[in-house]
Structure 1
C-alpha cells in the first residue's frame, strides 16, 4: 500500500468511529485534487502550528502526523469525535509530546469520503517552558468589509412543542423558560430563526387515522409557530418525524419522546401531508412571508440509522417526494437538505434531480468545512454545530466551548448563511430532562436562563461593529492558538475580541503551557483619548458553572437564595475598571494575559 492508501484507510476508520457516518461508504476514494503546497510547521511552547497554501476545490484538510518521514501517517485526532478535519490553516497540534520531533503532512478533502494526496512532509517539535507572547496589530482606520455574523441566522432548540409545556425542570417552568430563552437570544444575540425537530410528531396531533381515513389538525403547529413569530423569529421547518398512524414501523423510535424514524407506509399520504402543511402555513402567514423568510429542511441526519430506519434509497425517495410537495404549493418556497450528520451525503444530495435550494448539514468538534466548491451558489446552512455531539458532556458548560464557538464563527464568516449553535436552552429532553443545573447540557443558557460562557462568547461577538478591521497576529501560537476579530462602529467605537484555545479536548480544562501574554497595538485611532473597557470569560470570570460549584452545597438545583445569587452574577465580567486610554500619533497599546482557554474583549469608545 502507498502512503496515501494507508492515510485513506485510517481516515475511513476514524470517520466510522462513534457512528459519525454509519451509512457512509467503507472506502475513502482518491480525490482529484493536488497535494497542498508551501507546508510549514513551527514548534512553540506546548504546540506545533501547521500551515499550508489552500487547494482550489478542497472543502477541508486532514492534518496527518508521523514519527518518521516515511510514516505511517495518521490523522491528528484532537478528540472532537466527528469530522477531524479543518476548513483551512493554521492548525495548532497540542496532542504531541514536548521535544519529540514529528513529521506533518496535510491531505485535501474533496468530500468527507474522498481524500487527495499527502503533502511533502515537514518536521517540527513542541517545546516546554519559557516565555510565550503574541502580538496583535489592529488598523483602526482600515476597512476589511462588512462584518458577517453567522450566529444571527439560526439557533437550535428542543422540539418546539416544548414551548407549550406546563411541566417543570429543577422547579422551573419549561415552556415559559424556553420561550424566554428564545426571546433572549433574539434580543441580545440578534438570532433570527430557530430550528428544531419533530414538528410532525404525535404530541402536536398533526396526522391521525379516524375510521381508517386520515385527518389533519394543524392547530398545535399554529400555536408553536405563532409563539415563534411573536418572539420576532421565524422557524426552519424541519419536516420530521413520522406520525405514528403514517409510519411503516411505529416501533422504530429515537429520543425520550419516542420520535418515529421509519419511512411512511403510504408515500402518497406522506406527500399529501407535506403539501397540505405547506399550503396551510402559506395561507396562515402569507406567501411572501414564508417564501422570503422560511426554510423547509427534509428530515434530520438520515445517514445515521438511529434517525432513519429505512434504506438510503428510501430516504432519497422521501426527499424527492417532500421537495415536490413543497414546490407544488409555490415554486419559490425554499427546500433543501440533506441535514446530514458529519457532512455526509452532500454530493448525493446535489446529484438529485429534484429541487435543492440550499444545502444543510451538521458537524461537531471542529470548525465547519468549506462546502462552497460542492454547493456552488446555493446557500449553506449548518443547522447543527457545537463543541461535541455527546449528551451530558461537561465540556458543554466550559470556557473551552465558548472559545470554540468564536473560532468556528470567525472561520465561517463570509462563507455560510447560517452556523447554528445546538441549542439555545438546557430545557431539552432528547435523552431525558436535565438532572441538575450544570449537567453538560447543549444549551447556551441553563435551566433558569443563566448565561453559560458560550453565551457570553456570542454576546461579546455581537458587540463588534459593522465594519471589520484588518488584524495581523505574530508570535508563539498566533493564528493557531490565539485569534482576534476586530471591528469599528458608526460612532467610532473600536472593539477587539480575542480568544486562546485549541481544538484538543484533552486540554479543555486548560494547560499552562498554552497560556499566552498578549499585546494589542492599535494604529489609526482618530480621537485623542478613549474610554477603555475589557471583559473576560475564563475559569473565574463569566462562568456560571464555576460560580455554581462554589455555592452548590451538594445540591443538584439551587434553592431560592442560590437562584438569586446566580441571577445577580448573570453578567459578563469586567477584567478591570474601565479607564481612560490616551492616544499618541494615532496609536495605543494594551497588554494583558490570555490563558488557554479564555476570551477577552476590548472596547474603546472615543471621548469627545
Structure 2
C-alpha cells in the first residue's frame, strides 16, 4: 500500500470511529441531587415580531439555563434545538425563536435546568404567539458617551489551537507550509486579536516521546519535545494552557483505544501512581525551566471531554480519579499553580467535579467545559453549591458549530454569533476560547479544499473569515464600556449593541444582527433590521464617522472565492488576498447638537456593523492598530 493510500485509509478509519462514538456519553443523572430540581419560571411573556417570536421570563435562582418547548397547533411538543446545538438550553431570560412559518400560532413553555445534563423538572404555564406580518420600525439604539458602566472583559485572550506539533511540519500536498502558516496564524491572533494563551490537545502524545518504559520496567521522562513547542509559542508571546492528555502508550491500560488520525490514546492508566508521577515530573520540569511565576499564569487542565466515549474509555469515576491524581501532582510542585477541569463536552460534569472536589478536599482553581452552536450556560450556581463560588470559569472550547467540515464555519453567520457570545460572557466568566485559530487542522484528516468549513478563524494560507473580523472588531473596542440601550422589534435578542470609549475619546458602537439558529446561516430577510442610533454625551464640536461592515457583501472572503476550485493557484490566491480586508467607509461627519449626534443604518441578518466616531480635532492620531 502506498503512503497516500495508507493516509487515506487512516483518515477513513478515524472518521468512522468518530462518527460511531462521538455521541455516546458517560453521563448518568438518574441519581441527581435534589438541589438540581428547580421550580418553573414565572411571568412568561410573548411578543409577536417580524419573522420571529420573542419570549421573556423571570429568572430562577440556581438555573444554569432554560429549555424552550415549542408546539405548533397540529404538532408534537419539541425542545427548540437551534439547528443542532450540543446544548439546547439557553442562557438568560429572553429568547428569539426564529425560523418560524408566518401565520401559525405556536404554544410555548419554559423550564429551568440546573445544568445541561439535568431535566427541566417543572414547566411554566403555556403561552401562545405567532410571528408578525408588520414591517418593523427601526430599532432605537441609544448610547451615552459620557457614562461608563465598567471595563471591557477581554475574555477571548484564550483561544483554541490544533496540537502544537504542527509547528514542526513542512509543506503539505497543496504546497502550503503547515508549520510556518500555523505559527503565523498564532502570531496574528496574538498581535491583532490580543490572544495571550492557547489551549491545544495532545502535549503528552507519543509524538513528543515524554515517557518510555525501560527493559527493567522503570519509566524514563524526556520533555525536550515539549520544551521545543512551548519555547516556540512563548517566543510569539503566547502562553500554553497545559491540557494533560492524551495517555502515553507506556502508561495506558489499553493503547489500542485511540481517537483522530494521529491516534491519541484515550485509555486510563494501568497504574494511577505512574500517571501521578508523570504529571508531577512534567510540572516540576516546566517550573524549573520557565520559573514558577511564569507557569503560575498558565493553568493545567485535566484531559479533554472525558464524558464522551470517543475521548475516554474509562468511567466518570475513573475521570474523577484522574483529576485527583493530577491535581495533587500539580499542587505538590507548587500551590500557586492552577489546576482545573472537567473539560467536558456539552457543559456536563461541572457539578460532578465540584461535588467530588468538595468531598475529597481537592483544589478546583478553574472550571472548564465546552459548548458549540449556543451561548455558554451559567455554571456559577453549580460551583457555588459545592464550595467553589469564586473558582474561575474558563470555556476552553466554544464555537458556532461542533461538526468537522460542517456547513456553517466559513460563512457570515459566525460573525454575529461570536459577538453574542463575547457580550454574553461579560461578568460571567474569565475566558471564552474560540475553537480554533487556524484551519491547519488534522483531527479527521487534512483540509480537502481551501473553503471546507473548517473550525479556524483563519483559512489555510491565513485568509480572514467573517468570524475573524468579528473577533477583530471586538478586540479593537475601547476599554471603557459605555451606557447603551435598545428598544424595538428585535432589540437585545436579535440586534445587539456594544459601545465603548478609547483613551483618546474615540467612541465605538458595535452592532450585530444574528441568531443561534444554525438553520438560518444564510439569513432570513424577515429578520433584517434598520437601526436609528442616537449618541449623547459628545463633548466635541464635530466627529468623523467611519463604518465597518461584515455581512454577505462585505468582509466576506468566501464571496470572492472562485467557484468549483478546491485549491486556488498562486494567481487566484493573490486575488483572494487582495479581497482579504475589513470593509470600511466614511460617512458624513456629525456635528452634535447639545452633545447629541444621530445616524441611521441597516443591519442585515446575519450581519455586523461598527460605527467609529472620532473627534475632528483629537489630541493624538488614532487608527485601527491603536484601538485596543
* TM-score for the superposition, normalised by structure 2: 0.90
Hey, what's the Cα distance between the residues in 1 that align with 2:391 and 2:606?
A: 35
Superposed displacement of residue 453, structure 1: 0.4
Hey, what's the Cα distance between the residues in 2 that align with 1:478 and 1:227?
A: 45
8 Å contact from structure 1 (residues 169, 434) kept in 2:
no
Give the structure 2 partner of residue 3 of structure 1. none
Measured on the aligned residues, the alpha-carbon RMSD in Å equals 1.8
Matched, 1:530 2:538: no
Hey, what's the Cα distance between the residues in 2 that align with 1:48 and 1:475?
A: 13
Hey, what's the Cα distance between the residues in 2 that align with 1:229 and 1:255?
A: 27
8 Å contact from structure 1 (residues 296, 335) kept in 2:
yes
Structure 1 residue corresponding to 2:449, chosen from 410, 415, 436: 436
8 Å contact from structure 2 (residues 48, 131) kept in 1:
yes
8 Å contact from structure 1 (residues 534, 602) kept in 2:
yes
Hey, what's the Cα distance between the residues in 2 that align with 1:580 and 1:230?
A: 43
8 Å contact from structure 1 (residues 20, 342) kept in 2:
no
Matched, 1:305 2:315: no
Could you say if the C-alpha distance between residues 537 and 193 of structure 1 is closer, same or farther in structure 2, counting changes exceeding 3 Å?
A: same
Structure 2 residue corresponding to 1:344, chosen from 333, 338, 348: 348
Structure 1 residue corresponding to 2:333, chosen from 329, 332, 351: 329
Give the structure 2 partner of residue 23 of structure 1. 26
Hey, what's the Cα distance between the residues in 2 that align with 1:493 and 1:75?
A: 44
Superposed displacement of residue 579, structure 1: 3.9
Structure 2 residue corresponding to 1:515, chosen from 515, 523, 528: 528
Superposition pairs for residues 153-164 of structure 1, below 5 Å? 154-164=158-168
Could you say if the C-alpha distance between residues 89 and 591 of structure 1 is closer, same or farther in structure 2, counting changes exceeding 3 Å?
A: same
Superposed displacement of residue 37, structure 1: 2.3
Hey, what's the Cα distance between the residues in 2 that align with 1:194 and 1:266?
A: 30
Hey, what's the Cα distance between the residues in 1 that align with 2:130 and 2:30?
A: 32
Give the structure 2 partner of residue 104 of structure 1. 108
The alignment partner of 1:359 has SS state of strand
The alignment partner of 1:270 has SS state of helix
Superposed displacement of residue 536, structure 1: 0.5
8 Å contact from structure 1 (residues 170, 436) kept in 2:
no
8 Å contact from structure 1 (residues 45, 132) kept in 2:
no
Give the structure 1 partner of residue 575 of structure 2. 565
Give the structure 2 partner of residue 491 of structure 1. 504
Hey, what's the Cα distance between the residues in 2 that align with 1:495 and 1:307?
A: 43
Hey, what's the Cα distance between the residues in 1 that align with 2:174 and 2:46?
A: 49
Give the structure 1 partner of residue 16 of structure 2. none
Could you say if the C-alpha distance between residues 470 and 344 of structure 1 is closer, same or farther in structure 2, counting changes exceeding 3 Å?
A: same
8 Å contact from structure 1 (residues 200, 242) kept in 2:
yes
Superposed displacement of residue 131, structure 1: 4.0
The alignment partner of 1:396 has SS state of coil
8 Å contact from structure 2 (residues 438, 459) kept in 1:
yes
Q: How many residues align structurally?
A: 585
Superposition pairs for residues 450-599 of structure 1, below 5 Å? 450-548=463-561, 551-552=562-563, 554-574=564-584, 576-599=585-608
The alignment partner of 1:589 has SS state of strand
Give the structure 1 partner of residue 224 of structure 2. 219
Matched, 1:397 2:410: yes
Hey, what's the Cα distance between the residues in 1 that align with 2:76 and 2:588?
A: 55
Give the structure 2 partner of residue 243 of structure 1. 248
Structure 2 residue corresponding to 1:53, chosen from 53, 58, 64: 58
* TM-score for the superposition, normalised by structure 1: 0.93
Superposition pairs for residues 54-203 of structure 1, below 5 Å? 54-67=59-72, 73-114=77-118, 115-128=120-133, 130-152=135-157, 154-168=158-172, 170-203=174-207
Answer with 465-474 or 415-424: which moved more.
Answer: 465-474
8 Å contact from structure 1 (residues 515, 596) kept in 2:
yes
Structure 2 residue corresponding to 1:361, chosen from 369, 376, 382: 369
8 Å contact from structure 1 (residues 386, 422) kept in 2:
yes
Hey, what's the Cα distance between the residues in 1 that align with 2:365 and 2:173?
A: 39
Matched, 1:447 2:460: yes
Give the structure 2 partner of residue 7 of structure 1. none
Hey, what's the Cα distance between the residues in 1 that align with 2:106 and 2:94?
A: 17
Superposed displacement of residue 560, structure 1: 1.2
Give the structure 1 partner of residue 213 of structure 2. 209
Answer with 179-188 or 323-332: which moved more.
Answer: 323-332
Hey, what's the Cα distance between the residues in 1 that align with 2:398 and 2:507?
A: 29
The alignment partner of 2:444 has SS state of coil
